[in-house]
């Protein structure tokens, strides 16, 4: 099944030589008619085709996750 993927941003993964973080929007990720999600992929080796870790966030959860990440950042 082919998904329409719109890459938003790719950035280096701190603490790695070639790792990266990729943020994208995926249309219909779970089949026809499913809602789009934001996908965050963590690649420990930037040459990999598939991320080592990934998370899919529905639009309704993005603000809550951003707030939680800000709180987590303050504890670091």
Task: Kindly report, residue by residue over 15-63, the tens digit of the pLDDT.
Answer: 999 999 999 999 999 999 999 999 999 999 988 889 999 999 999 999 9
Cite the beta strand spans of the chain per DSSP E: 4-12, 20-27, 37-43, 53-58
- Phi, psi dihedral angles at 47 (to 5 degrees): -85, -10
CA distance 5 to 16: 25
pTM of this structure: 0.89
């Amino acid at each position: 099944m082919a998904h329409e993927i719109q890459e938003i941003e790719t950035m280096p993964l701190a603490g790695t030589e070639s790792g990266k973080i990729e943020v994208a929007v995926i249309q219909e990720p779970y089949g026809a008619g499913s809602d789009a999600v934001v996908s965050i992929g963590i690649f420990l080796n930037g040459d990999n085709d598939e991320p080592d870790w990934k998370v899919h966030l529905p639009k309704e959860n993005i603000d809550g996750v951003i707030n939680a990440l800000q709180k987590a950042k303050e504890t670091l």
